Each structure stands twice: as structure tokens, then as C-alpha cells.
Amino acid sequence: MARRKDQIRLGAFLYFTGHHVAAWRHPQAAEGIELEDYVQLARLAEDAKFDMVFLADGVAVRLRNAAAASRKAHSGVTPFEPLTLLSALSAVTRRIGLVGTASTSFSDPFNLARQFASLDRLSGGRAGWNLVTSTDPEAALNFSHTDAIDHGDRYDRAVEFHEVVRGLWNSFEDDAFLRDRASGLYFDPAKVHLLNHEGRHFRVRGPLNVPRSPQGHPVVIQAGASEAGKDLAARSAEAIFAAQVTLEDAVAFYADVKGRLARYGRAPEDVKIMPGIFPVVGRTRDEAQEKFEELQSLIQPEVGLGLISDLTGVDLSSYPLDGPVPTDLPETNGGKSRQALVLDLARREDLTIRQLYLKVAGARGHWQVVGTPTDIADVLQERFEAYGADGFNIMAPLKPSGLVDFISLVVPELRRRGLFRSEYAGQTLREHLGLKFPGHPHARQRVAAE
């Protein structure tokens, strides 16, 4: 296989006390709940020339298991809402991409399109939208629904939602605003476009009441790994935050998604696939393992069980903690693919329930690597060169030290290997990721000129 000519892309996935579920209890963990904490991390990632910072999100406190909820920082309570936080960061950073998660299940396409376009302009073209659908039944209860939305319907709505948002982002052509003081024409009415969308879920006339954004539109990112999710991604995503644990699965997923692009008239380079990785970095393997064990020792059993329940939708608290993971579990409505990933892992490695929760606790089902900077650079290089990834979303176990470790120890090793940039080449997130600027598709229906 020929050596790849492009380089690895890196995102810093900020999770407020760190990605390890017990990180908040660690003596070195920052509380990480103030704007200043996020500013510090964003600047750190920017100084290291990362492509983006990335924020996950949900719209509920997970109280189903009250004992677990109150014992972790990951119960769904966030110090800030992502769009407002990223907007604040836009004013105090200059180059790094700002990616926030927002669900199509419980948002409105006009308001969401407008806020992301606004963030794109505030940041000079650095906004990204991680489009997710919501599987959480507790979230549904906050939005006048009585139950979680069915998997199929959720994706149907997501497809239409994305179509509306993309359409609204093209309300004005790039050069629509003349601001011609002499003639008195503020914008060219021939360059503003109604959307006139009429669909199953939405009826939206438009135009969106903000100018077209600096990147044409914000970068659209997705994460779904189910059939419906991969199809939505192939249709609409420009980057994918993937979750495959093994190299084989990663390569298969990569080929699968890239192979679906042609049917939507897209090329393989139009989508960057960036798996999450949970790296525990030590100067020696022993040191890395010690760091990891220290975090693991802080996991409370209530939290471990709650975590399995959150990931798979099944409650294992009535089974013996040191017995096997039962094999006759029902398939749930929420997050099919994530459920399969976690339960497959347990069966493959013949784990007890306790062993399973200890295994997935850190990365919560994502790819976990404990080792030296060389070890970690090796697996990143391997997966990149095998076409299992175009880049990686770094899920530091502990904040801020986990990100500091990765930047000070692993990034220099990647640079020595020619795998990661030393300077930004472009200004926008789209440029960092090597994505094309989307030209305006012109009128769907021209507004009558005067």
C-alpha cells in the first residue's frame, strides 16, 4: 500500500472533568466548570495546531439510575450549553475549529441553522455542527414527547432536518449584500432565495435571516454507525466521529462509508473519518498502566452499572456483579450500534459484569490505548495508513493533564514521523480538514426583483 500523502487530523474532545468516568474524583482533576477552563484547553489545542475542539451534548439529566447519576460528572449535566460556549471561545481563539453537538430530534431547523451560521461568522469560518439524533427517553420528556422517538423515524426526521438546514444556509448568495450607499440597495433581491420546503416533518419558507457564512456553511459532522446512520453520514456528513475499537472494524467501517459516497455524487475525500481514541500516556508502559489503574480504582460500582445501562439500554443491576454478562438481552430502541459494540466486547473476551464496566468505563465503548508516546503514535499511524481513519478525536482521560500529556508527548512523535502539521495552512475549519468550499447552488426560487 502506498504511503498516504495527507496528514492526520486531530480534534480535542473536551469532556469537562475528563473522559474517564471517575476522572472528577482524581486528585489532579480540575473542576473544569468555568469558561476560563475551556479557554485554557482550547488555546492549548490551538497552540498544538489541532483541527478542532469538539463538544458532545445531550438534553437531559440521566436520572433513571439516581444512584449512578449523582455519583458522576457524566450524568448529562454540563457546565455550559455547546453553542453558547463555543461562541464565547470564538472571541478568544483565532484558528482552531469549534465543533458542537446538537440533536435534530429536539431542535428546530431554522433556529439551529441560524445559530451555527452565526457561530461560523463569529469565528471567521471555524464552526462545525455534529449532527446527532437523540436516543435518550429522558430527553424526550423535556420536549413534550411521552416517549423516545422510534429509531427509523428519528433518522427520517434527521435527513429532512439536515436538508432544511443546508437549504437555509444557502438563503443568500455569497455576494448578496451590496451595501451600496449611493444607489440605496442594501442587498441584491435577485441573490436571496426562498427555500419553500414542504416535507413530512417541516414546512419552512426561509430565507434564513443571516448572511451566508464564511465557510459557505459550517462543517457537518456525524457519528452514527447503524445502517441508517451510515447512510445519513454518506449523504450529508463532511466528517465522521467514528467509534470502532478494533483495526479490522475501523478499516471495514471506513471502506463501507467511503463506498457509499458515490451514490450521492460525492468523492471519498469529501468525508473525513475520525475515530475517537482514549489515550492514557506514560513515559513508560508501567507509568501509563499506573495512571490508568489509579483512575479505574476510583470507579464506584453504582456508576459502573449505570454506565453499562446507559450504553446498552439494559439494566444489569439484578445480575451478580462477578457473574457473566447474560446473552439473552432484548434489543433496545436507542443506539443499536453502540449496544452491539459493547455486548460483543463482553462476549468476545468472556467478561464478568464488573470486568465489562471496568473495561469500557474509561472510553465508554470507544477505543482505549494505554502506553508510551511511541505505542500511541504507532497505533495512530497504523490505523491511518491502513485507511481506517483520516484523523482522530482525542478523548483525554483526565482534564487538563490528559490533553497536556498527549500534546507534549504524542504530538511531537507524530510530527517527527511527518504525520501531523507544525503550522496551520488555512484559516477555516474546512481548510484545516481539507474539505472543499461549497459553492452556492443558486436559486431554488428567485424572490421577485422590484
At its nearest, how many Å lie between a second copy and the CB of residue 186?
6
Of 411-450, binders to a second copy (CB under 8 A) are 447-450
Q: Helix 227-236 to helix 247-260 angle, to the nearest 10 degrees?
A: 50
Nearer to a second copy, 362 or 371 (CB): 362
Of 6, 47, 141, 285, the residue at the interface with a second copy (CB under 8 A) is 141
Binding segment for a second copy among 7-15, 84-92, 230-238, 286-294 (CB under 8 A)? 84-92
Of 267-326, binders to a second copy (CB under 8 A) are 300
> What's the rounded Cα separation, in Å, for the pair 127 and 82?
12
In sequence order, what are the beta bridge partners of 436?
none
At its nearest, how many Å lie between a second copy and the CB of residue 303?
8
Alpha helices in 206-313 (DSSP H): 227-236, 247-260, 285-296, 301-312
Of 80, 319, 387, 424, the residue at the interface with a second copy (CB under 8 A) is 80
Q: Across the beta sheet with 276-281, what order do the strands follow?
A: 272-273, 239-240, 219-222, 127-132, 97-103, 52-55, 9-13, 391-394, 276-281, 367-371
Binding segment for a second copy among 66-74, 215-223, 274-282, 286-294 (CB under 8 A)? 66-74
Binding segment for a second copy among 29-37, 248-256, 258-266, 327-335 (CB under 8 A)? 29-37
Nearer to a second copy, 73 or 407 (CB): 73
Q: What is the CA radius of gyration of the chain?
A: 22
Determine, following the binding rule CB under 8 A, whether residue 60 of this chain makes contact with a second copy.
Answer: yes
Q: What is the dihedral of CA 360, 366, 372, 377, to 10 degrees?
A: 170
At its nearest, how many Å lie between a second copy and the CB of residue 301?
10
Cell of 22: 471517575
Binding segment for a second copy among 80-88, 267-275, 326-334, 376-384 (CB under 8 A)? 80-88
| DSSP track, 316-362 | -TTS-TTSBPPS-PPPPSS-HHHHHHHHHHHHHTT-BHHHHHHHHHT
Nearer to a second copy, 87 or 101 (CB): 87
Of 52, 53, 89, 274, the residue at the interface with a second copy (CB under 8 A) is 89
Of 167-206, binders to a second copy (CB under 8 A) are 171-172, 179, 181, 184-189, 192, 202-206
In sequence order, what are the beta bridge partners of 216?
213
Task: Check the CA dihedral 382-388-392-396 and report its sign.
Answer: negative
